[in-house]
Amino acid sequence: MVSTQIPKLDCGLQYLPASPDLAPNQILLPLTAAVNAQDGLDIGGCEVTTLVQQYGSPLYILDETTLRAACRHYRDAFIQYYPGPSQVLYASKAWSCLAVCAIAASEGLGFDVVSGGELVTAIRALEELGRPHPGPLIYFHGNNKAKSELELALAQGCTVVVDNWLELTTLADLAAQQGTVAPILLRFTPGIDCHTHEYIRTGHLDNKFGFDPNQLDPVFSFVSQQPQLNCLGLHAHNGSQIFELQPHRDLAATLIEWLGKAAHYGLSLGQLNIGGGLGIRYVASDDPPAIADWVKAVAQAVVAACQSQNLPLPKLLAEPGRSLIGSACVTAYTIGSRKSVPEIRTYLAVDGGMSDNPRPITYQAAYQAVVANRLSAPMAETVTIAGKHCESGDILIKDARLPHTEPGDILVVLGTGAYNYSMSSNYNRLTRPAAIAVREGEANLILERETYEDLLRQDRLPERLLAQP
């Protein structure tokens, strides 16, 4: 891991990209972030305060340049470091919408989806780009896929990443009924633990995903006897927001060993999906490996393991999500009320909170923030950024260092591209924010702000409730 240095500044400027050598997952503000003549923050050539005036707040601001750069870092690193075929898949659970999927697809990425909704979003985005048969670019995950979702995946020609026995037998029956052959990967739990939050560890044995390693033999035996199943390869995933490289090397070696075992059952497995999990820099002290370093470590481990097992190189798949889009987006809020508790803390409230970013209350996730209209002002106080929800735990950032602020200032929280909009809610009946994509001075709406009518649209009021008692 290459350590990177943050400039020794005491203002928001310290979070601007520190070096052109940094990968997109190693920066705090998007690649195009700059300070303008009014001491304000620009992203994608657009002034953030002007964007808030035009689109309102809270507002997700996606820097298209940063997202495209991250896609290319992954794509080019696999070409450079892996001598066999490869395919990068965008783990769309990080943020699934038509615009984000279209950007990823236009950069040559396929998709990892985990629901029928994500599946149809990826399909629609690919079709809008002129790809009439998008199924082979989509891999469908999930530990409890509905029968209707499996039927949809089969109809579209997607590869199903099979997670358990029920799904395996159901899929075999569905394929037989439809007179088709289902392309599948088998997901196994590798038994590899990583230093990350317990809720986002998926490689250790005690978790809900995948077949356990002791089921290798019965699973391979069953699949080898099912002509309706075309087993393409294996899948495993260590977890998320991981800074270590060794667990990914260990995972690659383990999966290659299992590929060799599958051959004893007459299964010629040509694909290997090593998941994703590379972390990003959320705060200045975070030091994740660069995208290329992660790819290099994985690729070299696969090549070495194949050589030791005398196996041909498989098609190598990876499914990054957070490290593609996390650093490409920020959320702009308008600062409101202030409450000072003497000798304890000062609360600074914004017009959003846990409904547009549930990660702090869910994972104790840490974030960094800047004041978009006071970018070079010195840090003057330590405050706690509170949301507006009726919940004491609705805290976005504890002990944030900020300049003196006034109501109406624009607070920008960094690194909100992953699992913010996708996990957003209508808690307290707040409307979900708008999202825009910015590039070269142009801003385009990619998700409309919800209205009160949107909140009421699905409500139904039975007539009997209107009757007089």
For the segment 371-412, what is each residue's pLDDT rounded down to a tens digit? 999 999 999 999 999 999 999 999 999 999 999 999 999 999
Domain 64-325 maps to which CATH number in 3.20.20.10, 1.10.10.60, 1.10.3720.10, 3.30.70.100? 3.20.20.10
Structure tokens at 49: 């305060």
Report whether pLDDT(146) > 80. yes
- The lowest-confidence range among 8-17, 237-246, 290-299, 451-460 is 8-17
CA–CA distance, 202 with 210 (Å, rounded to integer):
9
Place of tokens 């690193």: 77
The Cβ-side half-sphere exposure at 266, using a 13 Å CA radius, reads 8
Where helices occur in 179-314 by DSSP H, the ranges are: 216-224, 246-263, 291-309
The pLDDT, as a whole number, for residue 205 is 60
pLDDT given at position 194: 43
The pLDDT of residue 457 is above 60? yes
The mean pLDDT of 297-304, rounded to a whole number, is: 96
* Annotated catalytic residue within 11, 158, 231, 390: 390
The pLDDT tens digits for 13-60 are 888 876 778 999 999 999 999 999 999 999 999 999 999 999 999 999
Average pLDDT over residues 273-294: 95
Tokens of 162: 């099979």
Handedness of CA 78, 324, 439, 102 (dihedral sign): positive
Q: If you average pLDDT over residues 420-448, what whole number do you get?
A: 98
The better pLDDT of the pair 3, 348 is held by 348
Q: What is the mean pLDDT of residues 306-318?
A: 96
Element (H, E) at 128: helix 116-128
Q: What is the pLDDT of residue 193?
A: 58
In this prediction, residue 216 carries a pLDDT of 92
The rounded mean pLDDT for the chain is: 93
pTM score: 0.93
Average pLDDT over residues 116-126: 97
Q: Which pLDDT score, from 0 to 100, does residue 467 have? A: 87
What pLDDT digit, counting tens, does each position of 63-77 carry? 999 999 999 999 999
Give Cα 418 to chain centroid, integer Å. 4
Element holding 345 (H helix, E strand): strand 345-350
- The domain ranges of the chain are 12-63+328-451, 64-325
Q: State yes or no: cis peptide before 58, omega within 30 of 0.
A: yes
Residue 231 CB contacts under 8 Å (≥ 6 apart), including other chains: 184, 185, 186, 223, 262, 267, 269
Rounded average pLDDT over 322-333? 98
Choose between 212 and 132: higher pLDDT. Answer: 212
pLDDT of residue 147: 96
User: What is the pLDDT, as a whole number, of residue 198?
Assistant: 42
- Pairwise CA distance, residues 66 & 62, whole Å: 8
pLDDT in tens, 187-218: 999 876 544 434 334 444 667 889 999 999 99
Is 390 one of the annotated active-site residues of the chain?
yes
Q: How far is CA 137 from the centre of its chain?
A: 18
Q: Work out the average pLDDT over 212-226.
A: 94
Give the fold, CATH level 3, of 12-63+328-451.
Lyase, Ornithine Decarboxylase; Chain A, domain 1 (2.40.37)
**pLDDT for the residue 18:** 62
Mean predicted confidence (pLDDT) in 452-461? 96
DSSP 210: S
- Dihedral sign of CA atoms 299, 302, 307, 313 in order: negative
CB 183, CB 157: distance < 8 Å: yes
